[in-house]
Chain A
């Protein structure tokens, strides 16, 4: 029972970080129909950048985090402006391949700047334990879950009430109509990339403050695709609901199956879920089913 509580709490917290990263994907997909396959590498790069700020430059947290977020804004803007903008209205293969190219580039960049294979962020959150019945839970997980909830809430409010948020939703709905209304669609694309990178930065900091930084973060970022696939590609609600489900599956599967199968089963859980969902329910739980016409 105590084990179970621990698995559930840590699974839910990690799952919410997944939701956060997946949200970054859904933002871009909804506004510009670009599938960002460089997500894993972006998370890795931003985590290493925060490592640089926090550990190598010895900045305090209140100074480092805004710097990291600023860098994320710059990164998102740069990627959209210099690689996606010239490719507007190109076939989907080009759009997917260009994000792969970006991922490859960032991979090299990370290798170049931070050749060491692992790094540890200082503990940002208090690590005192909390007792829940018999279970002992690190306070970190609660902080992570709390921050995720705050970001979700902020984004939801932004989308619902802010002028830009409304414009972004409108773009997702009908790009032509938005253009006809005089809203600069390119700025919307730019904004969605910036948002996605900022959200990825927050997710990266949260997840690497718990588990450290390693190349496995790319797999974590790619594993976040299981969240998008399960939740439905163009649904924010889907991403928020599916994240904790994936996190739970990973943590419970890793916790209870390890004695019976090969160790390290939790690394592979998201990918197995991807295959199962695509085979049986390809548009996910909340995804919009598109009807194709010739």
Chain B
């Protein structure tokens, strides 16, 4: 807790640990939840669709944040693990006819297990070596998916039935909205709490200096692999939801560039904060919407544009934004938000 509003004191340990402290914070928090969960009342399908995508991306980003932001283990193969989750749940539900909750959980467990395999090298290496391992993981996973045609449908992919719990089928954007946002909210809450437990403190100790952490009695092997498992588990959940939401899976949805974009989102939002992934994901996805809306207009205004303008401009912009953030605000939007809060609280004597 960096700074609290003036006049807030702690009289018990429980008070000190509470996430929501003052009455204003409660009002804002409940207001935000109300606004979020009544969104289908005043938003059309277009925006619900975008919010669903944001929710799914957020689950994956939260997992990656635990891995990179808290535990400091760089992974650039997140899209590969998302693909594992998507394919596991698709195969389980369409070929074996298992119900949605079972498929969802097995997708998470499967992705977590694969993550453990590729996390083992983190014992001996770190930094660049680990980044390379995760890139190799991404390419190996996607290659297997492309070539195991009997199970995964190869390049053509598979179609996915709608998710259903009991007799309730999530077949409209609104129903899926509640499913996805509900799980996303749980994941954000989960990651916020992980950071404050023994587990999260061990992760942060490993991130800051793993040798020092080991000397102090943190079991590196256990905690690093646990970070990989949690991160990839959430990736698997996100992948499963993505498959149910889009209705199809194909290897083209999980490219290496997507893996880069996930890392970029965390950097833009702010690594190692609970707020960071939310801000980063919303920022990138809204930028995406903006680009998609603007490019046709730009193209008709300037007919001399090269032919690949529509497909090329978004990656260029994303790359540029990632570079700019690293140079000018490496701690991300979340840090700016903290600065803003601090100066708001100290106003008019902020400096």
Contacts and interface: CB of A to CB of B under 8 A. Distances in A.
12 contacts: A90-B326, A98-B326, A100-B76, A101-B260, A104-B319, A114-B308, A115-B312, A268-B143, A271-B139, A274-B133, A278-B125, A279-B120
A294 interface: yes
B121 A282 contact: yes
A1 interface: no
B268 to A, nearest CB: 10
Most buried by A among B147, B260, B308, B323: B323
> A-side binding surface: helix, strand, loop or mixed?
helix
Interface residues of B, number: 55
Contacts of A98: 322-323, 326-327
Given A97-B267, A274-B133, A113 B147 contact: no
Given A262-B148, A275-B121, A292-B211, 19 more contacts: A96-B74, A100-B76, A100-B264, A100-B322, A101-B323, A103-B319, A104-B260, A105-B323, A108-B316, A112-B306, A112-B311, A112-B316, A113-B306, A114-B308, A225-B135, A271-B140, A278-B133, A279-B121, A279-B124
Interface of A: 35, 37, 83, 86-87, 90, 92-94, 96-98, 100-115, 218-219, 222, 225, 229, 233, 262-264, 267-268, 271-272, 274-275, 278-279, 282, 292-294
Contacts of B315: 104-105, 107-108, 111
B257 interface: yes
B186 interface: no
B194 to A, nearest CB: 20
Contacts of A86: 327
A111 B147 contact: no
B316 A109 contact: yes
Contacts of A93: 68, 72, 74, 271
Interface of B: 68, 72, 74, 76, 118, 120-121, 124-125, 127-129, 131-133, 135-137, 139-140, 143, 146-148, 209, 211-212, 215, 256-257, 260-261, 263-264, 267, 271, 306-309, 311-320, 322-323, 326-327, 330
Nearest to B267: A97
4 closest A-B pairs by beta carbon, nearest first, are A112-B312, A105-B319, A115-B308, A108-B315
Contact of A104 (B124, B143, B257, B313): B257
A35 B131 contact: yes
A271 B306 CA distance: 35
A274 B136 contact: yes
Given A101-B319, A101-B322, A263 B133 contact: no
Contacts of B316: 105, 108-109, 112
A294 B322 contact: no
A237 B236 CA distance: 41
Contacts of A222: 135, 139, 256
Contacts of A294: 209, 211-212, 215
A113 B308 contact: yes
B269 to A, nearest CB: 13
Contacts of B322: 97-98, 100-101, 104
B131 A96 contact: yes
B311 A115 contact: yes
Contacts of B121: 275, 278-279, 282
Nearest to B128: A35
Contacts of A87: 326-327
A111 B311 contact: yes
Nearest to B266: A97
A163 B121 CA distance: 40
A29 B118 CA distance: 24
A262 B140 CA distance: 13
A49 B209 CA distance: 43
A264 B143 contact: yes
Nearest to B261: A104
Given A97-B267, A104-B257, A292-B211, A111 B131 contact: no
B140 A272 contact: yes
A225 B132 contact: yes
B131 A107 contact: no
Contact of B312 (A113, A218, A271, A275): A113
A83 B327 contact: yes
Most buried by B among A86, A225, A233, A271: A271
Contact of B263 (A97, A108, A272): A97
A225 B312 CA distance: 26
B313 A108 contact: yes
B38 to A, nearest CB: 36
